[in-house]
Structure 1
């Protein structure tokens, strides 16, 4: 097992009562509506208490799942944790509350739990979101089904039929002169999926160009994932110059951003632009950020991935064993066009109204 030094607890005070109350309400909606966890199904919460955010989430789960089994990861042997997982039956629920990322030897926790047919809610890298970021994280857990499902499906419908796209921001324009791969949804609706659950917070629609070489232009990057997997915000946005799907130049690149590009080029030869991500979570903006890049990926706006790695969309000429990098970068975005239709304006998605018929029951 992986553990933090004992001193890690000292600088992580408890969250205020109102934050725990908000977490309780948001998780109630996630469990009842997105995960559809029912009284006939068992629940197991595996947790640590190394950070104030982790402790707040555990308390919120205790309020929502009074009959669940709670297992403290740091004081439980790995064999016992695995035995608890394997004692569950399909459609039971496992919740993972992790200040870092739990390790159980070669057991890839979420993947293996899905193989067992279990529902999974995963909270990860909570130690990367200290202070006020903890409350940003809790705010991002709010489950808005009318918004996520209505706007998310509206975006997917437009992406799947769009002949091309343009991302405009900061006086720059990046053009995707190609149709797109079928868009994937992360909107808390698992009705058409084999697995139920995943990493939370949620809120994203993503795709990539069918023809990667049809991507060209310029984009300003206001945040990028650095070599420590943290959100790095330069004082001035970095401009990337893209030609035939590859980053061929930059302006105002910081040493940290240049290091990311150098690492990719050293191992992959060139820097491809692959994913086009439509983040939907309105709790995260250009100004309201969290340090964990995997959480901030849901930010309401456009993000791209740099590097050849993308396991969802296999492409000819890209060998999985040689593709090592998938680095999220976040684009200064004023407008997004799918074909001729503008789908993003004033910091919000305008692709199809939220479905007001979708309500949380009760």
Structure 2
């Protein structure tokens, strides 16, 4: 993360927006004061590729610490233990995971497992009296999402979504431009994300519906749905959708390779999106009554680049994982309620939209979103 003072940050963003308008909304990643208080001890549950990004982010975190791991692979446990100096007592597998209830050195479990396993391990973590962060998508059905929310409420723990872009400065600015109608009412949004999921690992769980719950929509499209919702500050009311042609039938026999959809919002704004596993795309564009704003790249890990119809956007590059964990962690450390935009309820809203997109693509009809 770049070491920028609050003043330097405001001077930079002043090129694009009035610094005074943004000052009150800037997360504390701009604060370079040394924090010497207690850190939130996090155990990563699942040690796949993204867990590696989280582990790196936690090394930079001010308020959080990688304190434990949960894995079914002994070789991974040994490697991670050495690399991150994790105590033996903080290492669990999926059979003895529930014993974490007795470990006072773990405050929160971050679930980074395949999508279909999120529900089980969120509920088990809640029963162990641990706060939880769960990666997107929250689960594979809206019903599962609600059960996860209910379990955490019953246990008296908090459930957060791993929505890293909620704390990223370019996306904070997109949200401001859209919701404050800086360029007037937004009329059209185009936001899409895609990459090539190759054949080098045909047994990858993303190809297996029982584990993934779906294809590119579940993995990548959720970012597009998120962006349209928080830029407009509205909930979509209907959707049409179309599956795109399959280019690799041997890999994509269970889940969709690519899909495109059109969300309609109460203001009349429309968001058109595509998620794809067979091509690269990573952009956001919004046009309003009096101008436009865009990012390209837009919803990946960055670095992002953007502009408006008036000027370039110029914000610091941050470690998205470290910043996300810090913004969640500092709230939990003082026993406050997490803001609604990062809770399980937000993940449930997205899942309802994803289910409607699938229904629209499967039926060829416009589907209302409740």
- The TM tier, using the shorter chain, reads 0.3 to 0.5
More strand by share: 1
More helix by share: 2
TM-score, scaled to structure 1? 0.36
| Greater relative contact order structure (CA < 8 Å, 6+ sep) | 2
